[in-house]
């Protein structure tokens, strides 16, 4: 395996033992487990993971998703050859297995932002947002962008947009055409549960939150400061 695998573990003691046991079964892999407090913010944890290695690049991999290793290598090769790009990914899609055994696949929009002017890049990224959270990043830019986003907001929607925009401000992003990342559309997953409960911290009900305007103002302020 070419790269280390860093696992952020903020579970209880019994789960920790199980996770260590599973990791030990794959001796050919460089699996490292970082312990985090149960109440640690997601961004604190992934930034800590990024700072724990000395690699040129990092990529976030959710525990219920599927990434194609060859596509990762293609993204790394692209970044190696293009110093003005800070992020690269391929085509992403969500999939859902039905009770009847069929599988429905829903492609995600993926756009490159290759304008030379940083302000133009950011404004066009906002106008036609293409998520970058699960893309291959230059490691230091990933850590800096997400740490800065957390200083601006802890809301899961706003920090994803803010960190992505700060990243795009730092350099260009490329979306290659090959399949890259499959996301499980899990009805029991955290995001699905928030949406089902009409939670006002997540789309689409975030728009109805009492503090939405205040959060939007804070987002604009943080992005303006970064720009």
> How many other β-carbons are positioned within 10 Å of the β-carbon of residue 210?
7
Q: Which residue has the higher pLDDT, 160 or 20?
A: 160
Grade residue 50 by pLDDT with cuts at 50, 70 and 90.
Answer: very high
Mean pLDDT of the chain: 92
User: For 71-99, what is each residue's pLDDT tens digit?
Assistant: 999 999 999 999 999 999 999 999 888 88
Sign of CA dihedral 64, 141, 223, 211: positive
Vertex 27 angle, CA 138 and 68, to 5°: 45
Q: Give me the pLDDT at residue 47, please.
A: 98
Q: Give me the pLDDT at residue 16, please.
A: 79
Question: Residue 171, CB half-sphere, CA atoms under 13 Å: how many?
Answer: 16
* Neighbour-count burial for 181-203, b at 16+ CB within 10 Å, e otherwise: bbbebbeeeeeeebeeeeeeebe
129 pLDDT above the threshold of 80: yes
């Amino acid at each position: 395996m070419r790269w280390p695998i860093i696992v952020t573990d903020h579970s209880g003691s019994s789960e920790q033992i199980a996770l260590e046991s599973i990791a030990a079964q794959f001796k050919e892999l460089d699996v490292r487990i970082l312990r985090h407090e149960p109440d640690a913010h997601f961004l604190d944890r992934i930034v800590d993971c990024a700072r724990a290695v000395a690699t040129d690049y990092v990529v976030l991999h959710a525990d219920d998703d599927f990434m194609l290793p060859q596509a990762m290598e293609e993204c790394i090769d692209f970044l190696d050859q293009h110093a003005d790009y800070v992020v690269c990914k391929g085509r992403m899609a969500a999939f859902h297995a039905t009770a009847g055994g069929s599988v429905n696949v829903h492609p995600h929009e993926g756009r490159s932002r290759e304008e030379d002017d940083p302000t133009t890049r950011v404004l066009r990224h906002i106008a036609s947002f293409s998520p970058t959270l699960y893309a291959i990043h230059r490691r230091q830019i990933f850590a800096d962008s997400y740490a800065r986003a957390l200083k601006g907001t802890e809301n899961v929607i706003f920090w994803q947009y803010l960190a992505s925009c700060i990243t795009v401000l730092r350099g260009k992003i490329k979306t290659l055409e090959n399949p890259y990342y499959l996301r499980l559309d899990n009805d029991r997953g955290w995001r699905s549960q928030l949406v089902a409960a009409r939670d006002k911290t997540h789309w689409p009900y975030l728009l109805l939150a009492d503090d939405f305007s205040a959060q939007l103002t804070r987002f604009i302020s943080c992005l303006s400061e970064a720009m």
